[in-house]
A = this chain, B = another copy of it.
Amino acid sequence: MTHLEKSLEEISELIYQKMDSLLPDQDEGGEKRLHDAMRYSALAGGKRLRPFLAVTSANIFGVSQDSALQVASAIEFIHAYSLIHDDLPAMDDDDVRRGQPSCHVKFDEATAILAGDALLTFAFEVLADPSTHSNPAVRCELVRCIAKASGSRGMVGGQIMDMISEKTDLGINQIIHLQRLKTGELFATSCEAGAILGNAAPNLRNMLRGYAYDIGLVFQITDDLLDAEAENDKSKKRKQKTSGKPTFVSAMGEQKAREQAKILTEQSVRHLSAFGKKADILKEFAYYVLNRKA
């Protein structure tokens, strides 16, 4: 196991424990069903890439692990809510998520809508809580940046473009814009959050943003490449994209997409030069995303 793989696994375990301790108890009042659904989706596993970015970036600035994990949990709650709502029948209509029944299949549609709403809301309650960081200016900046990245000019904006894209032909620039919003903004803000916690200077914040913004795009391109591979080789099981949605592979072909991912990866790590050895693990992570097989 490489140093990076060990770190990914470790953060994944720590973030599970932190989310578990933050989430409301299952037994709490008449809202039990809601708390069940929130826990079911948030704790179901997943790659925990955003928490990895937040915690690793916070480490550069010597931020306490507890602060970093708390912010990373809030970001992961937002990611979890977005998956619950994406899977709904009116959206991508996916019955399976991470090998398990989607939230609306396990519970029902109303519960899934409300569990998503509650996780999103809870993320901001956690970020604003004094236990996240002693300085309220830091907590406010986290709320503001993470809300911006998740809202109509960020993740949700990308999601509506994705819904509309099923009915229209997008050019490559529009696909890039869509994916920058849908994935890039929250990736970028995960890294930026570590810098905010560490009271980093604006130029350092922007470098980390730039790095993760590019990584978000690489992640999406390699996702499309893995989907294309699975389509060519039916032995590789992989959740299929909702048919009709434009992908990097459908828009530019496999060869070109692979080259583009490589160029973006090299571009992403150049943003890290100012951090020297302290950013080695983020560099390693960039190539891990580029070369991933799953």
Q: How far apart are the CA atoms of A109 and B113 in the complex, in Å?
A: 12
Q: Are B91 and A163 in contact (CB under 8 A)?
A: no
Q: Are B118 and A152 in contact (CB under 8 A)?
A: yes
Residue A136 lies at the interface, judged by CB distance under 8 Å to chain B: yes
**Residue in B24, B29, B143 whose CB lies within 8 Å of A127:** B143
State which of A33-41, A204-212, A225-233, A249-257 sits at the interface with chain B. A33-41
Q: Are A114 and B159 in contact (CB under 8 A)?
A: yes
Q: How far apart are the CA atoms of A139 and B138 in the complex, in Å?
A: 11
Using Cβ atoms and an 8 Å threshold, which residues of chain B touch A11? none
Q: How far apart are the CA atoms of A81 and B116 in the complex, in Å?
A: 13
Complex interface residues of chain A between 154 and 178 (CB less than 8 A to chain B): 156-157, 159-161, 163-164, 174, 177-178
Q: What is the minimal beta-carbon distance from A128 to any residue of chain B, in angstroms?
A: 4
Using Cβ atoms and an 8 Å threshold, which residues of chain B touch A163? 110-111, 114
Using Cβ atoms and an 8 Å threshold, which residues of chain B touch A139? 136, 140
**Residue in B29, B118, B124, B177 whose CB lies within 8 Å of A143:** B124
Q: What is the minimal beta-carbon distance from A273 to any residue of chain B, in angstroms?
A: 32
Using Cβ atoms and an 8 Å threshold, which residues of chain B touch A177? 29-30
Q: What is the minimal beta-carbon distance from A66 to any residue of chain B, in angstroms?
A: 18
Q: Are A28 and B153 in contact (CB under 8 A)?
A: yes
Q: What is the minimal beta-carbon distance from A239 to any residue of chain B, in angstroms?
A: 19
Q: What would 6 A/B residue contacts be, using CB atoms closer than 8 Å?
A: A30-B160, A30-B161, A31-B157, A114-B156, A122-B147, A127-B143
Additional pairs, 18, CB under 8 Å, beyond known A111-B163, A121-B150, A125-B144: A30-B160, A30-B178, A31-B157, A33-B164, A34-B152, A38-B152, A81-B117, A90-B110, A91-B110, A114-B160, A116-B117, A120-B120, A121-B151, A122-B147, A128-B143, A128-B147, A130-B140, A143-B143
